[in-house]
Amino acid sequence: MGDVGLAVAQGAGASRLAIDPLRYAAIYAVGDVHGCLEPLVDLEERIREDAASIEGRKLIVMLGDYVDRGSKSAAVLYHLTAAPPVGFDRICLRGNHDDAFLAFVEGDPAGNWVLDHGAKETFRSYGVEVDDHPLRGASRPLREMVRTTVPQSHVDFLRSLPVLLTVGNDVFVHAGIRPGRPLSEQTDEDLMWIRRSFLDLGPGLPLRVFHGHTPVKEPDVGPDRVSLDTHCYRTGRLAAARVVDGDVTILSVGGPG
């Protein structure tokens, strides 16, 4: 991540981070990647070009869901465990697919959820061939094969991912927050998995939440919620929100428009 000047809160679950809002001249929040390496590389280049005219430190915040559904999950994790683009710091948050994939590799039965949600493509990206039949019932041998092929550096990376970043009144998270609940009381499950109540009600707090998790045709920029999951593995489009002095600008690559 580099020297990002973090305050870290660590409880029973994953870590939560906070950054002084004056630390960065620009923050770029990137939506769900889902194994789509080329759009990620292209978007990083677009971000570098955009940031060239902005003086000061810059930060890229990845909003989670790096694996599943797209064909290059392993390559995406190799990319994200390497150094960020020159001139940038990078913070990667944990998405529900990342969390479930980690659980599957570590033998937690909860990780079997990935078997019905795009894991075939992830397994194949590590060289574990699976047929086109449902994976349920084959979880034990599959887990052993996957465990032996996923590099320890990827497991360590997934374990290290925080679930929340706050920068002043801006909140960066994968899925959203439980409406009206103080950030200190949000559970990991809330932050990685919530959907309907957050989409219907918004944060219910004096905050602006940058999130992915729920696909949208176009990035949605509102006063209290910025939605950035553009279904990259289906559309080829990957989007980022640039935040400078509180103003949001959308950058995107691939797909229509």
Q: Is residue 170 part of a domain?
A: no
Average pLDDT (180-185) is: 96
CA atoms within 13 A on the CB side of 222: 13
Q: Is residue 188 part of a domain?
A: no
Q: Is residue 41 part of a domain?
A: yes
Instruction: Check if the beta carbon of residue 225 is closer than 8 Å to that of residue 209.
Output: yes
Average pLDDT (16-37) is: 97
CA atoms within 13 A on the CB side of 108: 10
What is the CATH number for 53? Answer: 3.60.21
Q: How high is the pLDDT of residue 140?
A: 75
- Kindly write down the DSSP assignment for every residue of 182-193, as one continuous string: -GGG--HHHHHH
Q: Is residue 189 part of a domain?
A: no
Q: Is residue 18 part of a domain?
A: yes
Contacts of 181 (CB under 8 A, 6+ apart): 190, 204
User: Is the confidence at residue 6, as pLDDT, over 60?
Assistant: no
User: Is the confidence at residue 257, as pLDDT, over 70?
Assistant: no
What pairs with residue 241 in β-bridges? 29, 250
Counting the structural domains of the chain, the total is 1
Q: How high is the pLDDT of residue 141?
A: 78
Q: Is residue 191 part of a domain?
A: no
pLDDT digits (tens, 9 = 90+) for 112-171: 899 889 999 999 999 998 875 556 655 677 888 899 999 999 999 999 999 999 999 999
Q: Is residue 4 part of a domain?
A: no
Q: How high is the pLDDT of residue 138?
A: 58
Instruction: Name the residue range of residue 79's domain.
Output: 13-165+216-225+234-253
pLDDT digits (tens, 9 = 90+) for 218-242: 999 999 999 999 999 999 999 999 9
Contacts of 104 (CB under 8 A, 6+ apart): 111, 112, 114, 115, 119, 139, 143, 146
User: Is the confidence at residue 1, as pLDDT, over 60?
Assistant: no
Task: Name the strand (E) or helix (H) holding 40.
Answer: helix 37-51
Q: Is residue 173 part of a domain?
A: no
Q: What angle do CA 204, 207, 212 make, to 5 degrees?
A: 90
